[in-house]
Amino acid sequence: MARSDTRYREAYNQILAYCETLPTAAPIPAETRLAEIAGVSRTVIRRCLARMEELGLISWQGRDKHLLRAPLADDRIAVPDAPADKSDFEQRFLDWVLRFDVPANTPLSVAELSRTFDVAQHDLKEFLAGLSRFGLVSRRPQGGWMLLGFTKDFAIELSDFRSVLEHNAVAQVADAPVDHPVWAALAQLRADHLALKQAIDTDFHEFSKLDERFHRCINSVVKNRFIAEFQKVISLIFHYHYMWDKTEEKHRNAAAIDEHLAIIDALEARDSEAAQAAALRHLRTSKTTLLSSLRHHDLG
Amino acid sequence: MARSDTRYREAYNQILAYCETLPTAAPIPAETRLAEIAGVSRTVIRRCLARMEELGLISWQGRDKHLLRAPLADDRIAVPDAPADKSDFEQRFLDWVLRFDVPANTPLSVAELSRTFDVAQHDLKEFLAGLSRFGLVSRRPQGGWMLLGFTKDFAIELSDFRSVLEHNAVAQVADAPVDHPVWAALAQLRADHLALKQAIDTDFHEFSKLDERFHRCINSVVKNRFIAEFQKVISLIFHYHYMWDKTEEKHRNAAAIDEHLAIIDALEARDSEAAQAAALRHLRTSKTTLLSSLRHHDLG
DNA sequence: CAATTGTTTTTTATAATAATATACAAATAC
DNA sequence: GTATTTGTATATTATTATAAAAAACAATTG
Domain map (residue ranges) of chain A: 6-75, 90-147, 152-296
What per-residue confidence (pLDDT) applies to A296?
64
Q: Is the pLDDT of residue B34 over 90?
A: yes
Indicate yes or no: CB of B134 within 8 angstroms of CB of A134.
no
Q: Is the pLDDT of residue A300 over 60?
A: no
What per-residue confidence (pLDDT) applies to B24?
86
Residue of higher predicted confidence among B233 and B166:
B166
What per-residue confidence (pLDDT) applies to B300?
37
Are A241 and A208 in contact by the 8 Å Cβ rule? The answer is no
- Number of C-beta neighbours around residue A32 at 10 A: 10
A106-122 per-position pLDDT tens digit: 999 999 999 999 998 99
Are B11 and B38 in contact by the 8 Å Cβ rule? The answer is yes
A223-245 per-position pLDDT tens digit: 888 888 888 778 777 777 766 66
Chain B neighbors of A130, CB-CB under 8 A: 129-130, 132-133
CATH topology of domain B6-75: Arc Repressor Mutant, subunit A (1.10.10)
A interface with B, Cβ–Cβ below 8 Å:
39-41, 122, 125-127, 129-130, 132-135, 141-142, 154, 157-158, 160-161, 164-165, 167-168, 223-227, 229-230
Judged by DSSP in three states, B164 sits in helix
- Give the CATH architecture of domain B89-147: Orthogonal Bundle (1.10)
Number of H helices, E strands in chain B: 13, 5
Indicate yes or no: CB of B142 within 8 angstroms of CB of A168.
no
Going by their DSSP bridges, the two strands B64-67 and B58-61 should be labelled as antiparallel
Indicate yes or no: CB of B122 within 8 angstroms of CB of A127.
no
CATH top class, domain B152-296: mainly alpha
Chain B neighbors of A129, CB-CB under 8 A: 125-127, 129-130
Indicate yes or no: CB of B135 within 8 angstroms of CB of A229.
yes
* Same topology between domain A6-75 and domain A90-147: yes
Helices marked H in B100-151:
110-117, 121-132
C1' of C13 to CA of A128 (Å): 16
How many residues does the structure list for chain A? 300
- What's chain A's average pLDDT? 89
Chain B neighbors of A125, CB-CB under 8 A: 122, 125-126, 129
Range with the poorest average pLDDT among A44-53, A74-83, A130-139, B78-87 = B78-87
- Number of C-beta neighbours around residue B98 at 10 A: 18
Instruction: Return the CATH number of A90-147, one of 3.30.450.20, 1.10.3720.10, 3.40.50.10190, 1.10.10.10.
Output: 1.10.10.10
Residue of higher predicted confidence among A18 and A245:
A18
